[in-house]
Every structure is written in structure tokens, then in C-alpha cells.
Amino acid sequence: MQSFRTELENPIVEQEIIELERKIRAYQEGSIPDEKFRSLRLARGVYGQRQPGVQMVRIKLPFGKVTFKQLLKIADISDEYASKNLHLTTRQDIQIHYVSLDKTPELWAKLAEDDITLREACGNTVRNVTASPTAGIDPLEPFDVSPYAHKTFEYFLRNPVCAEMGRKIKISFSSSDRDTAFSYIHDFGFIPKVKIVDGQEVRGFKVLLGGGLGSQPLLAHEIFDFLAEDQIIPYMEATLRVFDRHGERNNRNKARFKYLVQKLGLEEVLHLIDEEKVAIKNKTVVIDRNKIQQPSAPTAAVSAAEPVDAKAYAIWRATNVFEQKQKGYFGVYVKILTGDISTAKARELVAGIREHIADDIRITQNQNLLFKYVREESLPHLFNLFTRLGVANAGFDSTADVTTCPGTDTCNLGISNSTEMARVIERYIHEFYEDFVFEQDLKIKISGCMNSCGQHGLAHIGFHGSSVKAEGKVVPAAQVMLGGGTIGDGKGRVAERVIKVPTKRVLQVVDLILNDYKRHKSVEENFHAYYDRQGKDYFYRLLKPLSDLTTLSSDEFVDWGHEDTFETAIGVGECAGVVIDLVVTLLLESEEKIEWANKAFDNEQYADAIYHAYSAFVWTAKALLLDKGVNSSTQSAVINEFDARYVNEGLFAFPTSFSERVLQINKYEPSKEFAEVYLKQATAFYYEAAERREALRVVNS
């Protein structure tokens, strides 16, 4: 690996990139264990692919905002280091694939030149903060949520409170009660609200807590109908501290925040959050409402144009264009099939839109693009451009707009080829159900496995990859999910598992359901009402013939987009880091955390210094417990077990208990005086533990 150096305006980013390069070298030399290195690179947006020896790099774009310059830079990076493709995700990120691990520091440095980060795009931390793509131009919004999403991203980036949690945390900001950012399936979901107090507008948010999709979707709990705008970040910080301490760390299938709420009960979790408020860094965080400015509208003269296809233009305009709250300007959606756009096409797109839209592109949760501040006279030009590039399909956010994850294209966990399935279904709907391009209350979403990266858990018609056995062979299958979706204002529905069918029969599933819906729904009924009236068993019986495996044809043993007989080949998922169970590694990490604590203290960042010291306490105790064969699943369990196994047995002495010493962290304000004392205590504990373990090693050697 050749050494790479760069000079960036941000010295913190520069140091992180240098550190990544150093640790890649150490890993390749064998001095960092694979498990430890995996969690380290995930926190830097580098994710192992299904294909050995290459990486997926996730580029973190807060609330999906990307400028012309940034999009072109990402395209350049994909050309130089990846597969010349950009994948738009349901989390409003951009992913590039087939990247060499050695090249990740270099490409990160080049992205950082244009204020683009990979930091904490993967791993056990706060993931990309999402928001309604229409934020700022939504005619229904009480106010623009973009500055709030940006401040949340900024506040928790590199924050020690959420640097190494048991699992990831997902946060969304919807622009209005339509809840287009799906607050109800997030760890934190925010919906803007306004009150008038003494004649003055007061901003705040309805707050949803503890939702999530995955293999076991759970709806979030509404905990505030109105939380003042300056309180949302302090509340999140207190909650993250609770999750870090009490969340599961051994069984990753139970490590999401929703399971902590399920385990302890909502009332107890809310009590723990309240207890934590005394120790948080800031009791109030004022949001700069002007931090994210509305972009300048285009001013260049536009020559008249006629649509290349008047009929198609009329349908496209009806489904993909809306008038902004800024009168005289329009928002325009561009449908990007399966979220994949080549770098060459991305460049042509930017070149063709520059004079016609504002320099503020938003990636949508259904893997499309939104352009802002389009003038009426520019609409035909854009349609003609999109037609030439093959992205002028009508039906944004309709039944004909299918969401999907990458599936077996690149993902370790993929069971089936969700992308090709999505392409086939979209083509089928456009050909045989053209009227459904206007239907926005019936959405189809697909995931390659049960983990719901394609959001099948909140679909009206959802599919996730699976398999069945027939004739001694494995058959690619799709689990059919029905009845999910957004209701609005923080309320939603989780789709129900109905039946499993071979994947090659999904078109028949779509055909039967859409036909039945058209024939039997009443004029007033949307799909939810129709599904509830008919009942789950009705759809099971409707689709039951498609699950008959005695009628399989030879092509049904082959997945969509493949030529060979289907085989399940699931790797190790990396949506969250693994448990580090090496004693030496843990002690080294404790020492590193003490170094970080000292640096933070010297920089007068007392809250950060305290939290790093707390982590050093816990990591050191966990290392010694592992020496006794005790692998506790939560930080709170580590603290209690250390008292039971070491303090109560007289191996370590504290004035009262280890628990009381460590948990000073939520009893005091984060002052300089407390930080100094607490850091000294953590340092002394670490050195005593390290010396005792070394002495035991010498005795036993």
C-alpha cells in the first residue's frame, strides 16, 4: 500500500483520513484483528461487498441534499475508483461499488475537498439524517425542516455519545403531516408543528420514538405532540446515552433501540432518559434557521421548446411536477429506475439542467431525484432532456415507482435479485396497468432479504427475498407482504406476511391484486380500506394457487436476471459492527479512549472528555470480565457484573462500588471540575487493571 497524503482545510478530516490509511496498513500487516477492523472501516463508510476483495463506499448526504459540483465530484470518484455507477439509496445517500480498500483514504480526501463525508455512513452510530425531499418548497409545510436535519447531523457527527453503540440509530424529519420521511419507522421521527403564543409563532415538533423496520418491524411511540425546537437535540442526546448504556451488544438481532423499549417498557425508558438530562452537554440547542438557505432561482433566459411527445408530457407533468409554495416555481421529480444512474448519464443530466433549476438537488426516499425552482417555460426542455436520457417515466411515488435495495447485486445478505424484479414489475405496470401511474395510495417495495432496506415492511404490496425447496433443489422465492404504508402525522402500518411464492410468479401476484383491487374496491376506498375489508385470509386464498410447487417450470429454479440454477449464498452482514471480544484489543481501546478524553479536556470539551472517560471505564471492565469468561451484553450489565465478580470478591476496591463510581456520569453537570476528577479516576482504574492483568500473564506464562 502506497502512502497517501493530502492537505485539507479541515484538520480533523485530514487526521481521520491519515488514521484510516494507517489502520488499513496495520490490518494488512496483521496487527489489527479482522473483527476490530471491520467496525473501524464501517464507521468510515466502507462496507464489505458480496464480491470478495472489493468494498461498497457509502457517501453521507444529510437530508439528501447534493449540489451540481458535488454530484459531478462523486461521478468523477466513481469513474476513477469504482464502477462508473451511482446508486441512490432509501436513506438519501449515494453508494459506489467495487472499490479497492487501499484506495478509500484517497477517495475520501478527494470527496472532502467538496465538503462530502463518509464518516459514520455505516456502523453502530447515527446514520444519515433524512428529511422530506420537498423540505423548503413544500406547500403544506409549517416551516423548512432542513436546518434542523442539518444541525442534528452536525451535532452527532464524531460525538463520543454515539460513536460505538450496540447498533445504528436512524433519524427523520418530515416536512408536513403527510409524513413523507416516515417518522413512524424511525428511532427518532420528527414532524414540524407551530403554536401561537402571545401572538408569536413558536416552532416545535411532534416526536416519535423507538420505531424500526428490519426483520421485525415495530411502529414508533408518540412521546411528544409538541417539543420546542431548541429541545429536540438535547432530548436525542439524553436518549442516545441511555441506548449506549443499556442497549444489547452481543445479539445484534436484538440490538436496535426498538428492542430496548420492548424489553424495558416505554415508561422505564422515558424515566431513564429524564435521569440522563442533568449530564448532557447542552440543555438547549438553538437551531440557526438560516443555516440552510433557499437556493437562488435560475435567471438565465430560456428558449421555447415543444415536448417531443405531447401525450407523454401531459402524463409526466401530472405525476412528476408540482407547484412549490414559492409561487411561479415548480418542483420536478426524476424517476431513476432502481436508484441506479451511470456517471456518464449523471454528467449529461447536470449539463442539461444547470440553467433550468436551482443548485440544490434532493435524493428522495424512493431513490429518485427532486429538482427545485423550475420555471414553467423550462418544463418542456426538462422533459425532452429526460426523454433523451431515458428517465422521463411518469408516475413518481405511484404504484409504477418501485423501491428496491441492491439485493444480490452487491449485498452480503441478499437472497434474491431484487433489482431485476423491480425492473420487471415496473415495465409490467407501465405496459398493462398504465392507469396506476396516477395511483399514489398503493406502493410496491422490494428487499433482497428480510431486513427491509427496500422498505418492504411499509409497502402496500411488498416482497422480500427468500427461498423454498422443491424436487430436492432450492427455489428462489418472494415473501408477499400486504397492507403496510403511511397514514400521516406519525401514524403508519406494518405490512403483514401473507404467503411465499417463487420469485418468477411475482408478476402474477401483482396482476391478481391489482385486478382484484380495480374490480372490488368501492369508489371511496383506498388500498388500506380495501385490504382491511377483505381481510388477510382473503388474499391468502387469492394467492394460494401461486404457492403450488408441484407446477414449477424449469425457469423457476433460476432467479430474475440470472442464468444459473438458484443457490443461496448469504455472507456476513455488516449493517452493524461485531462484538469485540479480545481482551488485549479492549485494553488498547481503553487506553485510546483515555487519550481522547485528555485531548477533549485540553480543548475545554468537558462533556466529551467525560464520555470518553466513561467508555474507558466500561471497556476496561469488559476486558477483565472476559478474562473470567463473562461476556455481558450491555454496558449496564458490564458495570454490575464487575461489582459482582471483582469488587465483591475483594479484587478491586472502591469507596462504595464500581457502579456508583462509573455512574457519576449521569449525576453531575459536565463541568471542568467533574471532568478532571472523573478522568483521573478512569485513568487510575485503567492502569490498575492493565498492571494486574500483566502480572497475571507473567505468572501464568
Candidate from 4-13, 280-289, 549-558, 589-598 with smallest mean pLDDT: 4-13
Q: DSSP of 103-114, one letter per residue?
A: GHHHHHHHHHTT
| Burial degree of 295 (CB within 10 A; 0-12, 13-18, 19+) | middle
Nearest to 605 by CA among 664, 671, 665: 671
Q: Which residue is it, cell 404467503? A: 499
Per residue in 188-202, pLDDT (tens digit) is: 999 999 999 999 999
**Positive/negative CA dihedral, 80, 388, 335, 139:** positive
Element (H, E) at 328: none
Q: What is the pLDDT of residues 107-122, one digit of tens each?
A: 999 999 999 999 999 8
- Residue 94 CA, chain-centre distance (Å), reads 11
The boundaries of every CATH 3.30.70.3340 domain in the chain are 310-389
DSSP letters spanning 208-275? EES-B-TTS-BPPEEEEEEEEGGGHHHHHHHHHHHHHHHS--S-GGG-SHHHHHHHH-HHHHHHHHHH
Average pLDDT over residues 505-533: 96
For domain 310-389, say whether CATH 3.30.70.3340 is its number: yes
Q: pLDDT tens-digit profile of 643-676? A: 999 999 999 999 999 999 999 999 999 999 999 9
Residue 210 corresponds to which cell in the numbers above?
A: 423507538
Q: Which amino acid is at 641?
A: E
pLDDT grade for 580, boundaries at 50, 70 and 90: very low
- The letter for the amino acid at 59 is I
**Per-residue confidence band for 149, with pLDDT thresholds at 50, 70 and 90:** very high
pLDDT value for 581: 39
Cell digits of residue 497? 406476511
Place 214 in a pLDDT band, splitting at 50, 70 and 90.
confident
pLDDT band at 576 (very low <50, low <70, confident <90, very high): very low
Stated pTM of the model: 0.94
Three-state secondary structure string covering 368-395 = CEEEEEEEHHHHHHHHHHHHHHCCCCCC
Neighbours of 37 (CB within 10 A): 18
Residues 6+ apart with CB under 8 A from 424: 506, 507, 560
**pLDDT, mean of residues 19-28:** 87
Lowest mean pLDDT, pick from 109-118, 526-535, 584-593:
584-593
Reported as a single tens digit per residue, the pLDDT across 593-626 is 999 999 999 999 999 999 999 999 999 999 999 9
Domain with CATH 3.90.480.20 in the chain: 11-112
What is the second-level CATH architecture of the domain 130-279?
2-Layer Sandwich (3.30)
Kindly indicate the confidence band of residue 98, based on its pLDDT and cuts at 50, 70 and 90: very high
Mean pLDDT of the chain: 93
CA–CA distance, 289 with 197 (Å, rounded to integer): 19
Q: Is the CATH number 3.90.480.20 carried by domain 11-112?
A: yes
Backbone φ, ψ for residue 378 (5° rounding): -90, -15
Q: Where in the chain is the domain with CATH 3.30.413.10?
A: 130-279, 403-557
Higher pLDDT pick, 695 / 148: 148
Report percent pLDDT > 70 for the chain: 95
Taking the C-alpha atoms of residue 480 and residue 512, their distance in angstroms, rounded to an integer, is 13
In angstroms, rounded to a whole number, what is the distance separating the alpha carbons of residues 388 and 222? Answer: 46
pLDDT in the model for residue 654? 95
Residue 699, pLDDT above cutoff 60: no
AA letter at 190: F
pLDDT at 550 over 60: yes
Q: Which CATH number fits domain 583-700: 1.20.120.330, 1.10.3720.10, 2.40.50.140, 1.25.40.20?
A: 1.20.120.330
Task: Name the grid cell of 86.
Answer: 451511482
Split at pLDDT 50, 70, 90, the class of 4 is: low
Digit-coded pLDDT (tens) for 418-463? 999 999 999 999 999 999 999 999 999 999 998 889 999 999 999 9
The angle subtended at Cα 193 by Cα 190 and Cα 197, nearest 5°, is: 140
Q: What is the mean pLDDT of residues 323-336?
A: 98
Annotation: CATH topology of 403-557: Sulfite Reductase Hemoprotein; domain 1 (3.30.413)
